[in-house]
Amino acid sequence: MSKGWRVVRVRDEAGQERLGRLDGEDAMIPLEGSLFGALVEAGPSRPLAGLRLLAPVSPSKVVGVGSNYRKHAEEMGKAVPPVPKIFLKPSTAVVGPDAAIELAPGSVRVDHEAELGVVIGKVTRSVSAAEALEHVLGYTALNDVTARDFQKADGVFARAKGFDTFCPIGPCVALGLEPGDLGVQATVNGVLRQDGRTSDMAFDVPTLIAFISDIMTLLPGDVIATGTPAGVGPLVAGDVVEIWVEGVGRLRNPVVARSGAGGA
């Protein structure tokens, strides 16, 4: 694999999953091999039309980080924590580009949270910050969708952030980025809501990997959601939310009411 590749996972017309590297924004070059091993080009460029973009990885877990942007901590009325404030989102929350975000039944305030996602490339346990980036496969865009009223009511994050569809990831894994100063934005129906840079993080990517890997083993494909800039806001059915990360691209998801839902 080469630095600068943006690798996507798609389902083709026959229902088969394939890997490819983006060739511009509307086409891909097919790849053969493993995302966590060697990948080689395997054919000419082809349009993405007719292919379904999937979440680029299937993590065993998504590790979230709360209050990690200084300006977001300010808008939430919270101090930056002395150590990273981590939580887990279940793998069942993960969806890919263009998949619908289903609003949480019973919630009156579901928010978008634009984030840089760090994709782990190999088994990572108790690594130092100095060696942490050697364990990164690449980076993606992530929406840490949150039922804000449940978060405030519970005082913990599992329900508020754990609903099915509450973790869109994509559209690709971007290889070779430097994560220290990347733009991170959210737009809803084309209106800019969040506009920050990863340089506003209280704890940078190497620090987060070192801290988390001292607590739990990170597996290939696991994702660290590194926190969100200021400007989080509500989503309602009919909205289209887009998360943009510099060097990665744009993750687009429509918002719908959850059909046939029971009590939460």
CB atoms within 10 A of CB 29: 15
* Residue 32, domain CATH: 2.30.30.370
Dist CA 246 CA 6 (whole Å): 12
Structural domain that includes position 16: 6-54
Domain count, the chain: 2
Residues 96 and 16 in one domain: no
Looking at the fold, whether 185 and 226 belong to one and the same domain comes out as yes
Cα separation, 140 vs 189, whole angstroms? 21
Q: Please indicate, yes or no, whether residues 87 and 113 belong to a single structural domain of this protein.
A: yes
User: 159 and 49, same structural domain?
Assistant: no
Residue carrying the six token digits 């998949």: 99
Question: Does one domain contain both 107 and 210?
Answer: yes
User: Residue 35 in contact with residue 173, Cβ under 8 Å?
Assistant: yes
> With 80 as the cut, is the pLDDT of residue 1 above it?
no
Mean pLDDT to the nearest integer, 98-112: 97
Q: What is the pLDDT of residue 260?
A: 63
Say whether both 41 and 84 belong to one domain.
no
pTM: 0.95
Q: So what's the pLDDT on residue 127?
A: 98
Mean pLDDT for the stretch of residues 28-49 = 96
Tens of pLDDT, residue by residue over 20-32, are 999 999 999 999 9
Given a cut of 90, whether residue 237 has pLDDT beyond it is yes
Does the pLDDT of residue 263 top 50, yes or no?
no
